[in-house]
Amino acid sequence: AQSVTQLGSHVSVSEGALVLLRCNYSSSVPPYLFWYVQYPNQGLQLLLKYTSAATLVKGINGFEAEFKKSETSFHLTKPSAHMSDAAEYFCAVNAGNTGKLIFGQGTTLQVKP
């Protein structure tokens, strides 16, 4: 069965600091992994995706994530936080070959000036 765990429901960083949002997955099939961002009062926007090609994936807004099979992790990073990065972030994994996604619990990123 597939599952996703996001460690830390709330992360707070200073503007300009490194952003690290943690995601661990469990999958009985080759995983496809995704990070989504949700700004207040908006839908979800795809940040980046891992689809079994390069293990280091670059996304929009300066975010990137590294797929580590040995650690079953797909952590999201950004070298320098900006105030506009404050949002809710969701990690997701495909539910086998059903076309469905399984979402983590979400991490709220707060950026302090």
- Chain residues in the site for other proteins (CB under 8 A): 32, 34, 36, 41-46, 49, 51, 90, 94, 98-101, 103-106
CB of 48 to other proteins, least distance (A): 10
CB of 49 to other proteins, least distance (A): 6
Nearer to other proteins among residue 14 and residue 45 (C-beta): 45
Integer angstrom CA distances of residue 13 from 2, 17, 33, 39: 30, 6, 24, 17
Name the residue nearer to other proteins (CB basis): 73 or 107: 107
Distance CA 10, CA 89 (A): 10
Closest distance of CB 42 from other proteins, Å: 6
